[in-house]
A and B are shown apart, each in its own frame.
Chain A
């Protein structure tokens, strides 16, 4: 799970669970199966990841649904 990944590590997205709008939005923003994410920072309830050339802040509750390797 993305939530558990340490700051500075790069991981590959295996799967994203769920069909709700926030998942669709994540995918539209570039976080999809097969993409490489770098965890930039974590603070309290949220986590910042870098995908391609953009950085995205997401709630950890959402990060739980992103399975990574």
Chain B
């Protein structure tokens, strides 16, 4: 038997922590179908029932102010959960009871969980839960999301409420309001209210609002006892520093620096090691075991390459989501919105947008996943459309190759390219605000919850849920497309030169498109095809197509190769910790590679063409990982439209860059 349970409550009341304690490893994250709102779900087994819990978005009211309230309301009405668990933050009960009143109007089987028991105790707040239960006619349990205290009682209450179909007593409002309601039809109080709102309009609305507040207020005073005035409040003292106009900003920037370092520098050696392990060990091992054939090449290059490619994202995603969850559950994140609001507002965004945009410089993929911290759909989509223009290390590899080769002061060229990317991001956001998301920026209204020490287990579990989600959803897409790209380069069977492959033909067909930016060489257009996987691949694929680098044919010896991988692992371990000690962000360093390719490219391009090519690579979303997570976060239509848009912008900018430099 399955019991469907919906967790409903205000933001920051600890619903997710509670869900984590109940659901354990079954906790899953995703998006609500067709929306950008995050969905968390999980299940527990208790007394023979499978209790399926879904965490509805945190809301203060069921009145549809935004997508979140609309979604919660629609879910409750259409899915009719077997039991609604209304989670309350005990210290803020008076406020939270407004939502409770609205839920009770729906007349669904309901349980109240008074959460944050420990904080309430500290503040000297006591709640008479028996009395609350008596007054409302439903089960009331006390819980502590941090420790999991009260978890069993909650499950017991859910099962009993389900078995006995315990519905709340019908709410009684004042006589005036009830008179209005008696004149309309409806099965539940909620339906009647909806009707009455249509019929009587504003007067009724105002009365209803006052009545709900009065109900919440009255109930609060009946069941809550303040034992003593709250003593020392840590949150208040911390906020004196962390919200301070100077120190607060300074601290935030320091925190961002740390996040950047840990996420990118710490994980870079692991990504490199994973890449090496797959390509220099597993791949040759397969060929060694199966012998040379198209099949063994397919397995070793396409399959292992694809899996390895997906895996290399994991250290990054895990570390960024770990830190983000830490910031989120500690209560710090909304404070960023306050601190950065002055800067970001100029660009039509709320302050929180600063974080994903900054992370974009490290890697667009986790930066796009970080857009989940945005408070509204509008803000989230704007950030999604901006992040891919933030230049990342993959682009830097390409820039430094061409800039050093063709320009007297490459550092300046690279710096200008980074700047241009940022400029295009803001122009894109500006354009979207003018065309799609019209109307001024919504006022910021954001609760700053008390600082809480996040439970490590919770943060780890959420991180893991995100990593798993990435593997299942984005990972499969990345893998599939990478196999297709491999096939394009290696089919039809038996070809020895990329010129004859499917990709070579497509590349030649693409030449007229790239001609206006001076790129007439089929070898360049063809190298863009595998580079859709990731931008830096453009160099290695050029090397192959220009046939300057023969595939290394070293004798493969499993035992020796395994030993090498072991040594590389130890080095990666050492390097990742050393990187943490180095104060400079390592993500901005460049390595020298492809020296033989240099002369070949130097002979076939001029500076104007090289600049056009770099501008194109900067702006065009030639990154499968980015497209995959864009699809996950913004939807398929959004991802495809964005891909086309980025191509158009890149093309126009490339043509302009070429023409400008040709004239000069």
Partner among B98, B230, B339, B443 whose Cβ is within 8 Å of the Cβ of A28: B98
| With contact pairs A29-B95, A43-B245 given, residues A57 and B61 touching in the complex (Cβ less than 8 Å) | no
Chain-A contact segment, one of B302-310, B318-326, B365-373, B444-452: B444-452
Q: A25-B65, A28-B61, A46-B338 are in contact. Are A40 and B239 (CB under 8 A)?
A: yes
Judge whether A53 is part of the interface by a CB distance below 8 angstroms: yes
Q: Are A53 and B91 in contact (CB under 8 A)?
A: yes
A27 CA to B205 CA in the complex, in Å? 14
Residues 476 to 493 of chain B near chain A (Cβ within 8 Å): none
Contact B342 A45, beta carbon cutoff 8 Å: yes
B123 within 8 A of A: yes
A54 near B338: Cβ-Cβ < 8 Å: no
Chain B CB within 8 A of A5 CB: no
Q: Which residues of chain A in 1-60 are interfacial with respect to chain B, using CB atoms and an 8 Å cutoff?
A: 21-22, 24-30, 32, 40-41, 43-46, 48, 52-59
Asked if B50 is at the interface (CB within 8 A of a chain A CB), the reply is no
The answer to whether B442 and A22 have CB atoms under 8 Å apart is yes
CB-defined contacts of B339 to chain A, threshold 8 Å: 43
Contact of B446 among A28, A30, A56 (CB under 8 A): A56
B295 to chain A, nearest CB (A): 60
Are A48 and B448 in contact (CB-based, < 8 A)? yes
* A69 interfacial by beta-carbon distance below 8 Å: no
Is B211 an interface residue when CB atoms closer than 8 A count as contact?
A: no
Closest A residue to B102 using CB positions: A28
CB distance from A3 to the nearest CB of B (A): 12
Report the separation of the CA atoms of residues A37 and B239 in the bound assembly, to the nearest whole angstrom.
16
CB neighbours of B244 from chain A (8 A): 41
A57-B443 in contact (CB<8A): no
Report yes or no: A58 in contact with B63, Cβ–Cβ below 8 A: no
Q: Considering the chains assembled together, what is the distance between the CA atoms of A30 and B92 in angstroms?
A: 9
Given contacts A22-B442, A54-B92, A59-B443, contact A43 B341 (CB under 8 A): yes
Q: A43 contacts which chain B residues (CB < 8 A)? A: 243, 245, 248, 338-339, 341-342
- Measured between C-beta atoms, what is the minimum distance from A36 to chain B in Å? 13
B60 near A58: Cβ-Cβ < 8 Å: no
- Pick the residue among B91, B342, B447 that contacts A44 (CB under 8 A): B342
* Interfacial chain A residues near B131, Cβ < 8 Å: none
Contact B65 A24 (CB under 8 A): yes
Q: Does B209 contact A (CB under 8 A)?
A: yes
- By a CB distance below 8 angstroms, the chain A residues around B180 are none
In the complex, the answer to whether A45 meets B239 with C-beta atoms within 8 Å is: no
- Are A57 and B338 also in contact (CB < 8 A) when A22-B445, A28-B61, A28-B98 are? yes
Collect the chain A residues with CB atoms within 8 Å of residue B245's CB.
41, 43
Q: CA–CA, A45 to B450, complex, Å?
A: 22
A25 pairs with B61, CB closer than 8 A: yes
Asked if B341 contacts A46 (CB within 8 A), the reply is: yes
A25 to B624, CA, bound (A): 40
* Contact flag A58-B444 (CB < 8 Å), given A25-B61, A25-B65, A41-B243: yes
Q: Is B274 an interface residue (CB 8 A)?
A: no
Q: What's the minimum C-beta distance from B31 to chain A, rounded to whole angstroms?
A: 23
Q: Which of B66, B213, B337 has the most CB of A within 10 A?
A: B213
Give complex CA distance A27, B448 in Å.
Answer: 16
Nearest CB on A from B111, distance (A): 22
Q: 1/0 per position for B334-369, CB-CB distance to A under 8 A?
A: 110111011001000000000000000000000000
State whether the Cβ of B328 lies closer than 8 Å to any Cβ in chain A.
Answer: no
Q: Could you pull out 11 A-B pairs where Cβ atoms are within 8 angstroms? A: A22-B442, A22-B445, A28-B60, A29-B445, A41-B244, A43-B342, A46-B444, A48-B448, A52-B94, A54-B92, A57-B338
What 8 A-B pairs are tightest by C-beta distance, nearest first? A44-B342, A28-B60, A28-B61, A30-B95, A62-B443, A55-B448, A57-B338, A59-B443
